Amino acid sequence: MMKIEAIIQPSRFDSVKDALREIGIEGMTVTEVRGHGRQKGHTEVYRGREYTVDLLPKLKLEMVLPDPLVQRAVDTILKTAKTGKIGDGKIFLSRVEEAIRIRNEERGENAL
Amino acid sequence: MKHLGWKCCLFVSMVLFSVPLLAQQSPASSATTPSAAASATTPPAAPEISKAVSEKLAQLEQHASEAESHADNAWMLVSAALVLLMTGPGLALFYGGLVRRKNTLAIMMQSFLLMALISVMWALVGYSLCFGGNGPVIGGFEHAFLRGVGADPNPDYAGTIPQATFMIYQLMFAIITPALITGATAERMKFSGTVLFLALWFLVVYAPLAHMVWGKGGFLNASLGGKFPTLDFAGGTVVHISSGVSALVCALYLGKRTGYPKQPMPPHSLVLSFIGACLLWVGWFGFNAGSALSAGSLATSAFVATHFATAAAAISWSVAEWIKNGRASALGAISGAVAGLVAITPAAGFVGPMPALAIGFIAGLVCYFMVTNVKSIFGYDDALDAFGVHGIGGTVGALLTGVFAQQLINPVFGAGKPVGGLDGHWSQLGNQLVGVLTAWGFALVGTIVLLKITDMITGVRVSEADEIEGLDITQHGEEAYNLES
């Protein structure tokens, strides 16, 4: 089991979600986040006062998948979330030791 | 009131002239008839006809003046409601959107509080202090508890509407003026201190100024023969200079908001401010055109001037911003519109559309410069720019009124007498300066003294911890947005 955390541009979310569903990924958790990497923020001016906004809004997708699905999911995200500009985000992969379904206490990949 | 005198004269003289003319008709016609046949019958009939005619005329005269009175009253009641609309929701939304989220209700509550508090004070003594008596500086207690303020007009101020209408209309001005000051004290002044200070301010600064400029006997009154007749149609000195200058004093006395100017404090909702500014624009027609105190052509003239000045100022502020920042912002456009509304206020009933465009255009540029450059040079924290827009816009407008006022629009000094500088009466600029300096001086001194008094009784500023947590929770125990509930 691997966990995929993908931080993406909010504008790409619908395409990514639809493409993931097409390859059979049923569940994910989405969070609205703010952050920055190499992408610079922008300035806003209110009555002559300038504010630099350097934390930009992004979406974080989290999903835990059985190993065979991971590569396809990563490829799908790469393909659909990419605009080619700085600020497209990142994907992090990590190994997950256990998963438990709260309703019936199923464990492991059955719980996914 | 400024315009009514000659209108009444005209009406009365027309009636006076027409009565003898019609009365003469019967003897004149009887003279042309053959005297032999008519001499026996006409003499007794003539007085009957002329009596019937004059009765009819008297009836007509009464109907005409009733109709005028009803028309004026209808417009003035609508205007009064429009001016109240400027404070709530207009100003409350405009300011409410400009503060940070944690202070939204606090600033809206201050405007609303004044709607209630000043109204009660107005009924008890406020109206009388502004418009009772005939002292040069302040009115008296003649109309305390609204004694004698009812259906009968007060011919000194508005001869065609019930005095109660005039009273309730003027109240709305007294409400919005202290509310404007809360733009400078925003996000850090105690609620208790705000209540006490603004109540005192209304009695000590607003009431005398309103009396000086608009009250009978006031030494700045232009239409009732003051010593330094200051042209102030709808409140450039009384409302905007007084509140704007007091706002600056408050900003300096309170000190900067914690974190200003390092910490970003962007407006939390420009949508609210946008709606508020648009309501201000609409309400201002009641403020300015209503100040004609009648529904005639002067009201139209003031309405037109108000509209064009506002449009011009919105454009000039936006253009300045576009040139400087490369973008024209919504906040800039609405701020410019408010600056234009402020600047045309003293001039509204004295200038035509072209001077109005000029006044608006100049005010938009000057206020933009004040708010964006001068404020940061001096470093005072006039949080929502009450001084930059109202103090400066009011001053610019009051002085330009002395330049552009036309007897063609409003012969306030009598028929044929020039009014403003371009009319050939440049000394009016001197009168305007006296009015402006009086308002500045009064507001400066009054506000310093009252802030000291307030500071001793309730304190003026919240603790730093309360300020950081926000005034909504610490002063009122509630939040503007409970989005999770």
Contact B372 A47 (CB under 8 A): yes
Taking an 8 Å cut-off on Cβ atoms, the answer to whether B371 and A48 are in contact is yes
- Whole-angstrom CA distances from B387 to B151, B203, B263, B354, B382 are 39, 21, 22, 27, 7
Question: Crossing angle for the helix pair B42-85 and B270-288, nearest 10 degrees?
Answer: 160
Q: What is the CATH number of the domain that holds B275?
A: 1.10.3430.10
Contact B147, B131 (CB under 8 A): no
pLDDT-flagged residues of chain A (< 70): none
* Residues B271 and B371 placed together within one structural domain of the fold: yes
In this structure, the answer to whether residues B9 and B153 fall within a common structural domain is no
CA distance A48 to chain B (A): 4
Residues B354 and B422 in one domain: yes
Q: For residue A49, list chain B residues with Cβ-Cβ distance below 8 A.
A: 261, 376
Q: What are phi and psi of B190, to 5 degrees?
A: -60, 150
Which tokens in the block code for residue B42? 């006409």
Q: Has residue B78 been placed in a domain?
A: yes
Q: Is A95 on the interface with B (CB under 8 A)?
A: no
**Contact between residue B128 and residue B216 where contact means Cβ atoms under 8 Å apart:** no
- Are residues B58 and B82 both part of a single domain? no
- Structure confidence at residue A35 (pLDDT): 87
The values of phi and psi at residue B214, to 5°, are: -115, -20
User: Which helix or strand (DSSP H or E) is residue A105 part of?
Assistant: none
**Which chain B residues contact residue A48 at CB under 8 A?**
371-373, 375-376
Nearest CA-CA partner of B229 in B13, B447, B12, B429: B429
Go through chain A and tell me how many residues it has.
112
Going along chain A from its start, the domains and CATH numbers come out as 2-111 (3.30.70.120)
What pLDDT score does B45 carry? 57
Cβ–Cβ of A48/B261 closer than 8 Å? no
Same domain, B140 and B38: no
Same domain, B140 and B196: yes
Average pLDDT, chain A: 92
Report d(CA B349, CA B405) in Å as an integer: 8
- Those of residues 37-76 in B touching chain A at CB distance below 8 A are none
> Do residue B208 and residue B346 come from a single domain?
yes
Whose tokens are 């946008």? That residue is B274
Which of the 8 DSSP states describes residue A59? E
Whether residues B153 and B12 fall in one domain: no
Let me know: does A33 contact A59? Beta carbons within 8 Å.
yes
Q: Is residue B484 a part of any domain in this protein?
A: no
Give the model's pLDDT for residue B120: 98
Instruction: Find the closest chain B residue to A44 by CA distance.
Output: B266
pTM: 0.84
Q: Are residues B111 and B11 in the same domain?
A: no
Q: Which of B62, B88, B112 is the last residue of a domain?
A: B62
- Whether the CB of B26 is below 8 Å from some CB of chain A: the reply is no
Task: Quote the DSSP letter at residue B51.
Answer: H
At A52 the pLDDT is: 83
* Min Cα–Cα distance to chain A from B479, Å: 23
Interchain proximity A44–B261, CB inside 8 Å: no
In a domain, residue B481? The reply is no
DSSP state of B256: P
Which residue numbers in chain B have pLDDT < 70? Answer: 1-48
The C-alpha atoms of residue B423 and residue A74 are separated, in whole angstroms, by: 79
Nearest Cα of chain A lies from the Cα of B325 at a distance, in angstroms, of: 8
Using DSSP, state whether B462 is helix, strand or coil.
coil
Q: Does residue B430 share a domain with residue B407? A: yes
Of B62, B85, B111, the one marking the end of a domain is B62
Of B325, B335, B376, which has the smallest distance from its Cβ to A45's Cβ?
B325
Cβ contact A45–B327 (<8 Å): yes
B67 within a domain of the structure (yes/no): no
Is B131 a member of any domain?
yes
Measure the CA angle with vertex A20, ends A14 and A25; round to 5°.
Answer: 130
Q: Which residues pair with A42 in a beta bridge?
A: A53
- Closest of B342, B381, B374 to residue B360, by C-alpha: B342
The pLDDT, as a whole number, for residue B485 is 73
B325 in contact with A, Cβ within 8 Å: yes
Contact state of B376 with A47 under an 8 Å Cβ cutoff: no
For residues B268 and B273, what is the distance between their CA atoms, to the nearest angstrom?
Answer: 9
Whether residue B144 is contained in a domain is answered as: yes
Within a domain: B68: no
Q: Is residue B483 part of a domain?
A: no
Q: Tens digits of per-residue pLDDT, B158-206?
A: 999 999 999 999 999 999 999 999 999 999 999 999 999 999 999 999 9
Q: Are residues B188 and B214 in the same domain?
A: yes
Q: Which residue of A has its CA nearest to B372?
A: A48
Which of chain A's residues have a Cβ under 8 Å away from the Cβ of B267?
Answer: 46
pLDDT at B3: 52
Domain count, chain B: 2
Q: Are residues B283 and B390 in the same domain?
A: yes
A92 touches chain B (CB under 8 A): no
User: Domain range spanning residue B35?
Assistant: 4-62
Nearest CA in chain A to B383: A47
Rounded-to-integer distance, Cα B123 and Cα B127, Å: 7
| Residue in A19, A31, A21, A12 with CA at minimum distance from that of residue A81 | A12
Q: Alpha helices, DSSP H only, in B86-103?
A: 92-98
Inter-residue contact B317 to B332 (CB < 8 Å): yes
The pLDDT of residue B223? 86
Is B330's Cβ below 8 Å from some Cβ in A?
no
